[in-house]
């Protein structure tokens, strides 16, 4: 399966209590490393000279092909964790927008912007590259200005017709002209709390697997990417259970040193209910 992912790679500055860590991040990063376990992955992004070369090498070592658009700065966020699932986000700098929509066709295209780098108009152009379009709402509803992250309401009609859309519960309040039934699957996460999933407008709730972790950076991105993969292979409820289990195992290990048997075993514990 040939997948194209677009969005900014990020320099994440993560603060947990008195500890501070600088790591590679960005929705596209977590989604790409997830999909690299299953597919042929290409990432379209934009980074500045300040972006550590060894981080890009790590992605190349995973077999991920990078299409880098030049930029003066890189996108960087400060993530201050209040507890495992609550964080304050501050945009420190922002890379150039992603305007170059490639030609060609893909089995999957995922739009995972984090700071307004993909405009709704360009998103519509990306939609022509595949019949299987996946997107995350996060970078469309954030005001792309440095400082504490603020949200804006958007006309979300450009998202209609896509296959799988993810948002966290807070972000859903900023979608105008949009109903869950406008997309095939709409995944709504709420940290460690039960989330919602809509299949063609029909509402389900699921309870994420409990994990004892210090922070949950990338959880939504791993969940979305793993769901997108599983949903291309198996029915909706099974894909939802597997994605939830896969995400829990990733958060616990912070790598992919677990097997599909582990995923399937844990998936059996995920409760899904039709509402
Ligand atoms: C993180 C992560 C999150 C995103 C943050 C980013 O690395 O990918 O999904 O919300 O902006 O810095």
pLDDT digit string, tens, across residues 209-236: 989 998 899 999 999 999 999 999 999 9
pLDDT tens digits along 94-108:
999 999 999 999 999
pLDDT tens digits for range 145-161: 999 999 999 999 999 99
What separation in Å is there between the alpha carbon of 230 and the centre of ligand 1? 22
Q: Residue 132 above 90 pLDDT? A: yes
In whole angstroms, give the CA distance from residue 213 to residue 252: 6
- ipTM of this complex prediction, to 2 decimal places: 0.96
Residue 85 has pLDDT above 90, yes or no: no
Q: Which ligand 1 atom minimizes the distance to the CA of 217?
A: 2
Residue 214 has a pLDDT of: 86
pLDDT score of 254: 96
Mutate to test the pocket of ligand 1, among 80, 114, 220 (most ligand atoms within 8 A of CB): 114
Best residue among 25, 139, 223 to mutate for probing ligand 1, ranked by most atoms within 8 Å of CB: 25
Q: Which of ligand 1's atoms lies nearest the C-alpha of 138?
A: 10
**Residue of 6, 7, 8, 12 to test ligand 1 pocket, by largest number of atoms within 8 Å of CB:** 12
Q: Which atom of ligand 1 is nearest to the CA of 12?
A: 12
Residue pLDDT, tens place only, 24-50: 999 999 999 999 999 999 999 999 999
Number of structural domains found in the chain: 1
CA 155–ligand 1 middle distance (angstroms): 22
Chain segment 48-75, per-residue pLDDT in tens: 999 999 999 999 999 999 999 999 999 9
Assess whether pLDDT exceeds 90 at residue 206: yes
pLDDT for 16 equals 93
Range of the domain at 168: 2-274
Q: Which residues pair with 236 in a beta bridge?
A: none
Q: What is the CATH number of the domain that holds 106?
A: 3.40.1190.20
């Amino acid at each position: 399966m040939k997948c194209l992912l677009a969005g900014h790679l990020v320099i994440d500055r993560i603060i947990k209590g008195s500890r501070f860590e600088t790591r590679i991040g960005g929705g596209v990063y977590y989604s790409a490393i997830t999909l690299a376990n299953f597919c042929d992955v290409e990432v379209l992004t934009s980074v500045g000279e300040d972006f550590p070369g060894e981080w890009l090498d790590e992605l190349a070592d995973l077999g991920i092909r990078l299409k880098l658009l030049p930029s003066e700065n890189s996108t960087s966020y400060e993530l201050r964790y209040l507890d495992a699932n609550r964080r304050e986000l501050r945009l420190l700098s922002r890379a150039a927008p992603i305007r170059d929509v490639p030609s060609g066709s893909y089995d999957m295209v995922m739009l995972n912007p984090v700071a307004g780098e993909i405009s709704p108009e360009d998103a519509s152009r990306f939609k022509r590259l595949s019949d299987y379009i996946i997107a995350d709402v996060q970078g469309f509803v954030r005001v792309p200005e440095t400082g504490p992250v603020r949200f804006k309401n958007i006309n979300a009609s450009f998202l209609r017709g896509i296959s799988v859309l993810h948002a966290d519960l807070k972000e859903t309040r900023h979608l105008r002209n949009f109903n869950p039934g406008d997309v095939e699957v709409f995944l709504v996460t709420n940290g460690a709390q039960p989330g919602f999933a809509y299949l063609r407008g029909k509402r389900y709730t699921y309870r994420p697997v409990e994990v004892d972790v210090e922070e949950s950076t990338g959880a939504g991105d791993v969940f979305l990417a793993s769901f997108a993969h599983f949903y291309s292979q198996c029915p909706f409820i099974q894909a939802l259970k597997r994605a939830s289990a896969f995400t829990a195992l990733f958060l616990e290990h912070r790598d992919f040193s677990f097997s599909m048997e582990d995923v399937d075993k844990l998936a059996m514990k995920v409760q899904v209910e039709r509402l």
